[in-house]
Amino acid sequence: MSFIERLWYQGHKAYWLLLPLAWLYGVITALRRVLFRLGIKQQVKVKAPVIVVGNISIGGTGKTPFTLLLCQTLRNQGWTPGIVSRGYGANIKAPVLVQTDAAATEVGDEPLLLAQRSGCPVVVCPDRVAAAEYLLANTKVDIIVSDDGLQHYRLARDVEIILIDGSRGLGNGQLLPAGPLREGPWRLKQANLVVANSQPYAQADGVMQLQAATAKALCSEATLTPGPVTLVAGIGNPQRFERTALAAGFSITARHYFADHHKFSAADFTDIQGPVLMTEKDAVKCRDFARADWFSLGVDAALDKPLQQKLDTLLTNLRSSYGT
């Protein structure tokens, strides 16, 4: 765990040194919200309902597996969903429809994984309004899921869903950089649904568990049975991936953790011994130089019964509000 993470999650008192910057960050973000509330900055309502999936803390909270589950739930209810995302790490200036064989460097790792796993059209662009309008103009979707778009207030939304890592919670409850929060804990009360990943959280509506799928080779159809592995991860919360691997029966002989959204190259693996086990999000960036003993461990989201019922009701009410 890095020093900054210890400040945020382990009660290290040195975070006080960063409070002036956190207060400045809070003033700037509060001013931005006020400008939208007063109409000085305009929200744009597109011609389809919009569901935002996001978080108020940085780092992994399970947005990608939840978004996959949400899209399947929408299809089960008769919707035709599409996804918009920023395309973090890619040099994108205008909306791009993600092709499933695209390079992660061109469209971003999470959007590529969403396109491959969801079967939904995915459009990436830093301007989510432009992405949503492009999606509606060029595909047959009738509802839009905005991935990690909670703070992108310019795109008007019908439903907000916030995810929290149940094991880490909101850390010390401070705004960046003194703590891990993009917005204060008060923001949870404004959401239509709050989902806790892995374990209960007091302000959440229920719990989402991540269930490991079969470990699959990056460059063949081979699978990996549980046994000793080297973990490689470039995600926001590698400890959660570690817990998932252990729960699936794997034992960990070594760990190599990189920064979130790390741009992997073959050189990163020079001294790493296989078999290697990585997340699906990292795997999409490594396929071009993968070795035979590199595998990815996918996860599927499952909601507890009360939370699934609340999600179903929320989506049913959304359909009713649109008269369909």
Reduced to 3 states (helix: H, G, I; strand: E, B; else coil), residue 279 is: strand
Amino acid 90: pLDDT:
86
Decide if pLDDT at 2 tops 80: no
Please tell me the predicted confidence (pLDDT) of residue 324.
65
Question: Rg of the chain's alpha carbons, rounded to an integer?
Answer: 20
Strands 81-85 and 50-54: unpaired
Q: Is the pLDDT of residue 74 over 80?
A: yes
DSSP code for 17: G
Q: Are 86 and 93 in contact (CB under 8 A)?
A: no
pLDDT tens column, 85-132: 999 888 999 999 999 999 999 999 999 999 999 999 999 999 999 999
Please determine, for residue 1, whether its predicted confidence score (pLDDT) is greater than 70.
Answer: no
Report the CATH architecture of 3-207+303-321: 3-Layer(aba) Sandwich (3.40)
pLDDT digits (tens, 9 = 90+) for 153-173: 999 999 999 999 999 999 999
pLDDT at 245: 96
Alpha-carbon distance of 13 to 6, in angstroms, equals 10
What whole-number distance in Å separates Cα of residue 285 and Cα of residue 208? 26
Cβ density class 262-283: b for 16+ within 10 Å, e for less: bebeeebbeeeeebbbbbbbbb
Structure tokens given for 180: 């891990």
pLDDT digits (tens, 9 = 90+) for 177-222: 999 999 999 999 999 999 999 999 999 999 999 999 999 999 999 9
- Phi–psi pair at 172, nearest 5 degrees: -85, 5
Range with the poorest average pLDDT among 8-12, 26-30, 181-185 = 8-12
Ordered DSSP codes for 21-65: HHHHHHHHHHHHHHHHHTTSSPPB--SS-EEEEE-SBSS--SHHH
